[in-house]
Chains A and B, each alone.
Chain A
Amino acid sequence: MDKPFAITLDPGSSLANRTGSWRTFRPEYLDRLPPCNAACPAGENIQGWLFHAESGDYEKAWQSLVENNPLPAIMGRVCYHPCEGGCNRQHVDSAVGINSVERFLGDEARKQGWKFAPPAASTGKRVLVVGSGPAGLSAAYHLTRLGHQAVIYEAAPLAGGMMRFGIPKYRLPREVLDAEIKRLTDFGVELHLQTKVADVLQAMKDGFDAVFLGVGAHIAKRAYIPAGDANKVLDAVAVLRGMEGHDAPMLGRKVVVYGGGNTAIDVARTARRLGAEEAIIVYRRTRDKMPAHDFEVEEALQEGISIKWLSTIKEAGESDIMVEKMALDDKGFPQPTGEFERIEADSVVLALGQDADLSLLENVPGLVVEGGLIQVDAGMMTGHPGVFAGGDMAGSERTVTVAVGHGKKAARAIDAWLRGEVYAPPPKPEIATIERMNSWYYSDAPKTMRPVLDIIRRQSTFEEVLGGLDESNALFEARRCMSCGNCFECDNCYGVCPDNAVIKLGPGKRFRFNYDYCKGCGICAAECPCGAIRMVAEEN
């Protein structure tokens, strides 16, 4: 075409005009820390594994999950999911059912027989792990991944620690526990049962380069209650441990449980299932002060368990107990009122917490113990070089998840220590708070509820109470994830830039800014649903 001068121009020639020079702020992609990940004591990359689940690639999702936590089927049942408490979706409708998807993945892995990715090349180092509770299992797993030989010494005849001897079956079916433990031993973790470690430094002489202690806290705390001989005063840990034996504990028709933690609830619910007509929890404070989780209290109440708030047990008689009413003082502490009441009881179970048995550490120099807890540094190392510890014995927050997290952290620190280094965790990026996101883009999608076992069977059997999600539910739930702080390739930035200054790199490759043309308007950052773009002032 013989174009007239100046008034007719060649297509797209404006590329010669580099509008990037207008910019005073530049957009940058970044990964912010999703609040769920930040809240997960096991340090799971939740958003990361949900990303794969969203596209239906459950195996990849599971593989991504087990990079941090080897026990998804267990976690999906017993974890108190603090992640969901942090989940930003609660500001939109309700938190993502992370835990239920985790369970779905864990169960799917069992069904499909998925295996862990092969470990790193052997380092020739051997690490002793004392205890096969979640802390020990996690440490052993991560050590194995890193190429070390992990050897567990477990005093009990079965592995699992409190997951087996504490948490009741109706919450954690034993085949689930067994399967996940078996996967670990298949992976190369050496497990020696009925091998109690009495002296840890002695045990290390079996050719170990380091040791991780995860012995838990198994010694029941007692409270002094004057009691007639005939009356049965038992402790919760013993009762629950008894559930794993051949003969179920004899608790009688009317059972009183003393305490306000999860253990108290579990014992009461176990008692109901064992046939107790009445199971009463006696707790000295009010419901909102109770350490047990709300949902557990709720489930217990549904199962017919009653709770006596603001009450302490003064004495235990032959077939009853005496309870004193309490009143909260202005600081919120319960104070005796002098008002008494008698309650019928065939047995009293004390669920007042546990202390750790630290006898195996008696002649280890350098250890510091405070409030019954062994003190560790940021890498879970005790005051004695090469001796690491985690789980209930080392932390005041006693959950399976914390224990798993401790095990992982310790394994990484041990790995560094074995190489003569100090483990430096990667710096944590800033948290993707809801204010950094643009929640407009997420359509309403309320949380999917897991099926619950019907109430009659909950009162009489040890069948699992809470069901799992099926595939379509799980997919739905996974897709509720807002991918906080991490690009999920929604193409918004690519689409909303008035200057076409975002380059799409293709599936899985994310995007790049074209700073030749980006004018720095900030629309991309404002419209990124998940807050994966920030605006940074230009130097000049």
Chain B
Amino acid sequence: MSFQPVKFYQTGTFTVGNRLLPPEERSVQASAKRFNSINSGHRACQGCGEALGARYAIDAAMEATDGQVIAANATGCLEVFSTPYPETSWQIPWIHSLFGNTAAVATGIAAALKVKGLSQNPKTRVVAQGGDGGTTDIGFGCLSGMFERNDDVLYICYDNGGYMNTGVQRSSATPPAARTATTMAVGPEPGNVFGQGKFVPAIAMAHNIPYVATATVADLRDLEAKVRRAMEFRGARYIHILVPCPLGWGTPSQDTIKMARLAKETGIFPVFEAEHGEIKSVLAIRRPLPVEDYLRPQKRYAHLFGKTPALATIAHIQELADRNIRKYGLQARKEGH
């Protein structure tokens, strides 16, 4: 377990805060003095999971480093909505270079800090961040290079399952059957095809880097614990955060967290952490649900639920979720108290 569940049943361990907990045990986001690394006034869509995930993650990194974080950011929604001239939402030192080079830019920053002795005292740390397109596709070479060299960078991928900033096209993180602008819901196999795509956390693990984790915006405490844990290591670290996109997924803006929760609870998105290539813990499913519960609310899967539901496709997706559950041991277990 990446974090200690707290036995306050009124709020369990799942809320952001908990007035019954001593302040030091509360989440970073619960604090009135949290950094708000990304400030109000950004131009993300209503209910953007990426805006939320970025604040969760970067605030946690800021907390873990006493405010000594420098971030490099790939092109994508996060960059575009946070820094349109003449205003930026970032309250931390931040640089955007290109779409596909963020890991390398971060390597450069880390190298500069090291050579100047700044990575030691005060401990300035580097975070790279990008969307799934910027990470799993165009930035993959630089990412793998950064991993392989074990550069002292925490790379965070905000996975919203597609190239959202350019109008929702398919990326290698787009799930099968999902409709995007380049995998339309037409033809004999509507939506994104099965048997393609890649799961970068597993590839990151194959680099044997010190720390790899997945998280979602639905489990804040888990996410924060993972960022904190990541900051305990030197070297390359990777956190892959599922951040639902109301626009791209076709979900109501208020359901962003709910969708992330459903992705985890159905087994669609395995939440785990690994150290040096070995899985150390998983976030077990609490209330098992069929994938249909996750798919149905999303317009990108609307073609599965037409007049004649695409039962075989849904079953196929269920198989993939079941495989995740088996592979990562996500089965629900009894909650102790």
Whether A and B touch (Cβ < 8 Å) is answered with yes
Per-position binary interface string of chain B over residues 256-274, scored 1 when its CB falls under 8 Å from any chain A CB and 0 otherwise: 1110010000000000000
B257 touches A523 (CB 8 A): yes
B47 touches A527 (CB 8 A): no
Partner pick for A476 among B9, B14, B287, CB 8 A cutoff: B9
A527 touches B257 (CB 8 A): yes
B261 touches A19 (CB 8 A): no
* Chain B residues near A506 (CB-CB < 8 A): 32
* Chain A residues near B13 (CB-CB < 8 A): 443
Partner pick for A14 among B29, B40, B52, CB 8 A cutoff: B40
A56 to chain B: closest residue by CB: B20
* Chain B residues near A10 (CB-CB < 8 A): 88
Assembly CA distance A22 to B48 (angstroms) = 14
A443 touches B335 (CB 8 A): yes
Asked if A520 is at the interface of the complex by the 8 Å CB criterion, the answer is: yes
A494 touches B87 (CB 8 A): no
Asked if B165 is at the interface of the complex by the 8 Å CB criterion, the answer is: no
Chain A: number of interface residues, binned into ranges = 35 or more
B16 touches A19 (CB 8 A): no
Assembly CA distance A16 to B252 (angstroms) = 27
Asked if A521 is at the interface of the complex by the 8 Å CB criterion, the answer is: yes
Asked if A276 is at the interface of the complex by the 8 Å CB criterion, the answer is: no
Assembly CA distance A6 to B87 (angstroms) = 9
Partner pick for B19 among A488, A496, A497, A501, CB 8 A cutoff: A488
A445 touches B46 (CB 8 A): no
Asked if A489 is at the interface of the complex by the 8 Å CB criterion, the answer is: yes
Assembly CA distance A488 to B255 (angstroms) = 22
A441 to chain B: closest residue by CB: B14
* Chain B residues near A495 (CB-CB < 8 A): 15-17, 27, 29-30, 220
Partner pick for A504 among B9, B32, B253, CB 8 A cutoff: B32
Asked if A491 is at the interface of the complex by the 8 Å CB criterion, the answer is: yes
Asked if B18 is at the interface of the complex by the 8 Å CB criterion, the answer is: yes
* Chain B residues near A441 (CB-CB < 8 A): 11-12, 14-15
> Number of A-B pairs whose CB atoms are under 8 Å?
177
A521 touches B47 (CB 8 A): yes
Per-position binary interface string of chain B over residues 299-313, scored 1 when its CB falls under 8 Å from any chain A CB and 0 otherwise: 000000000000000
Assembly CA distance A439 to B220 (angstroms) = 16
* Chain B residues near A17 (CB-CB < 8 A): 41-43, 87
A27 to chain B: closest residue by CB: B254
Asked if A457 is at the interface of the complex by the 8 Å CB criterion, the answer is: no
Partner pick for B52 among A480, A496, A529, CB 8 A cutoff: A496
A492 touches B16 (CB 8 A): yes
Assembly CA distance A529 to B19 (angstroms) = 14
A489 touches B257 (CB 8 A): no
A6 and B19 contact, Cβ closer than 8 Å, known pairs A480-B9, A494-B30, A495-B29: no
Per-position binary interface string of chain A over residues 431-459, scored 1 when its CB falls under 8 Å from any chain B CB and 0 otherwise: 00000000011111100000000000000
* Chain B residues near A504 (CB-CB < 8 A): 32
Per-position binary interface string of chain A over residues 474-518, scored 1 when its CB falls under 8 Å from any chain B CB and 0 otherwise: 001011111100001111101111111100101100000010110
B19 to chain A: closest residue by CB: A489
Asked if B134 is at the interface of the complex by the 8 Å CB criterion, the answer is: no
Q: How far is the CB of A304 from chain B (nearest CB, A)?
A: 36
Asked if B120 is at the interface of the complex by the 8 Å CB criterion, the answer is: no
A498 and B51 contact, Cβ closer than 8 Å, known pairs A11-B90, A479-B8, A479-B10: yes
Assembly CA distance A481 to B10 (angstroms) = 6
Assembly CA distance A507 to B18 (angstroms) = 11
* Chain A residues near B5 (CB-CB < 8 A): 443
Asked if A9 is at the interface of the complex by the 8 Å CB criterion, the answer is: yes
Per-position binary interface string of chain B over residues 30-49, scored 1 when its CB falls under 8 Å from any chain A CB and 0 otherwise: 10100010111111101111
Asked if B327 is at the interface of the complex by the 8 Å CB criterion, the answer is: no
* Chain A residues near B90 (CB-CB < 8 A): 11-12
* Chain B residues near A520 (CB-CB < 8 A): 46
Asked if B337 is at the interface of the complex by the 8 Å CB criterion, the answer is: yes
A493 to chain B: closest residue by CB: B16
A55 to chain B: closest residue by CB: B20
B258 touches A526 (CB 8 A): yes
Asked if A525 is at the interface of the complex by the 8 Å CB criterion, the answer is: yes
A438 to chain B: closest residue by CB: B258
Most chain B beta-carbon contacts within 10 A, residue among A7, A13, A517: A13
* Chain A residues near B92 (CB-CB < 8 A): 11
Q: How far is the CB of A55 from chain B (nearest CB, A)?
A: 6
Assembly CA distance A491 to B14 (angstroms) = 11
Asked if A54 is at the interface of the complex by the 8 Å CB criterion, the answer is: yes
* Chain A residues near B258 (CB-CB < 8 A): 526-527
Asked if A148 is at the interface of the complex by the 8 Å CB criterion, the answer is: no
B254 touches A492 (CB 8 A): no
Assembly CA distance A473 to B290 (angstroms) = 36
* Chain A residues near B40 (CB-CB < 8 A): 14-15, 19, 499-501, 514, 516-517
A14 and B9 contact, Cβ closer than 8 Å, known pairs A19-B40, A521-B254: no
A12 touches B52 (CB 8 A): no
B10 touches A12 (CB 8 A): no
B51 touches A19 (CB 8 A): no
List CB contacts (< 8 Å) of B226-271 with chain A: 246, 252-258, 261
Q: How far is the CB of A60 from chain B (nearest CB, A)?
A: 14
Assembly CA distance A19 to B42 (angstroms) = 8
A445 to chain B: closest residue by CB: B9
Partner pick for B88 among A12, A443, A492, A521, CB 8 A cutoff: A12
Assembly CA distance A66 to B252 (angstroms) = 44
- Ranked 7 nearest A-B pairs via Cβ: A491-B17, A495-B16, A443-B12, A522-B254, A14-B41, A521-B47, A445-B9
